[in-house]
Amino acid sequence: MATKRLARQLGLIRRKSTAPANGNVGRSKSKQLFDYLIVIDFESTCWNDGIRHRSQEIIEFPAVLLNTSTGEIESEFHAYVQPQEYPILSEFCMELTGIKQDQVDEGVPLKICLSQFCKWIQKIQQEKKIIFATGISDISTSEVNLCAFVTWSDWDLGVCLEYECKRKQLIKPVFLNSWIDLRVTYKIFYKRKPKGLSGALEEVGIQFLGREHFGLDDSRNTALLAWKMIRDGCLMKITRSLNKVPTKRNPSILARSLNTDRVEETSACMSSVHDPSIYDREPENTIKSHQKLQMRPAGVNSPIKF
């Protein structure tokens, strides 16, 4: 009986590369730390005129909820955001992202968007019994589903949202202080440097679906890549945390604390950013290539690469 069970398990493992597993079977086979991943990919104001002093603002706020056992996207959040510091989008920005001026004009300020996002988070927490990684400790339980945020590079949560909340004196939900950088994870797991998100997808045999640099499509495709990596045996781990707690930098240590999570879930939208010192410098190699364009010195016209 044990031999027959082992044979069935091995068969399931082989089929995982082409078909999702059902229920919790996939998680037990792949030994994932997280039951769910929330993938975020902001789009922001950007220019191609060499001016360095402009501040970027989020203009599209998407998120998709990926079930790491089935590979299904079970819920989505999407909002257009009004830029208030530079309310008129550049022609370059509209051409790159496909986002039009009237769409952001009809959007909501970032403060309102964050409130709407928190309501979406609270809804999926109630429906799916989700808690978030906190960067503190690991408490194993079968009564809740652990969830982590995923971005392509540290730019979205480590730079863009951080700086904008700082400038506008907005309270940032504390659960956005920890995330998985899928670009770094991809590089370590496959032992090769990805050529952008679309290049990474192509390398693993997945065609990009939708429009590149449109945040919701980028989020969905990042989720597809994460699911492919999980099927290939990649263990998703927190790679960056802004929480001001004494934790080891080794990303193999799972950050989870039920008590802390329950407090954070209740007051997620009422807590300020823990460590304002992160605004003093930008993480290296985290800004997306199209955001780097506005940082070029005037007169430099190097080719655009994505």
Say what the pLDDT of residue 74 is: 98
**Any idea which of 80-84, 110-114, 273-277 has the lowest mean pLDDT?**
273-277
- pLDDT of 140 > 70? The answer is no
Q: What pLDDT is attached to residue 299?
A: 36
Residue 134 pLDDT grade (very low, low, confident, very high; cuts 50, 70, 90): low
- The mean predicted confidence, pLDDT, of the chain is 77
Cα atoms found within 13 Å of the Cα of residue 54, Cβ hemisphere only: 25
Whether 43 sits among the annotated catalytic residues: the reply is yes
Active-site residue (options: 57, 162, 213, 290): 213
In this prediction the pTM is 0.72
CB 174 within 8 A of CB 274: yes
The residue-averaged pLDDT of 88-94 equals 96
Summarize pLDDT for 38-80 with one digit per residue, the tens: 999 999 999 998 877 689 999 999 999 999 999 999 999 999 9
Rounded CA gap, 160 and 173, in Å?
14
Amino acid letter for position 200: A
For residue 135, how far is the Cα from the chain centroid?
A: 16
Confidence of residue 159 (pLDDT cuts 50, 70, 90): very high
pLDDT band at 141 (very low <50, low <70, confident <90, very high): low
Can you read off the two tokens belonging to residue 164? 């904008």
Verify whether residue 274 is a known catalytic residue: no
Residue 54 is predicted with a pLDDT of 80
Residues 6+ positions from 235 with CB-CB distance below 8 Å: 30, 31, 32, 33
Specify the residue for token string 């191609």: 48
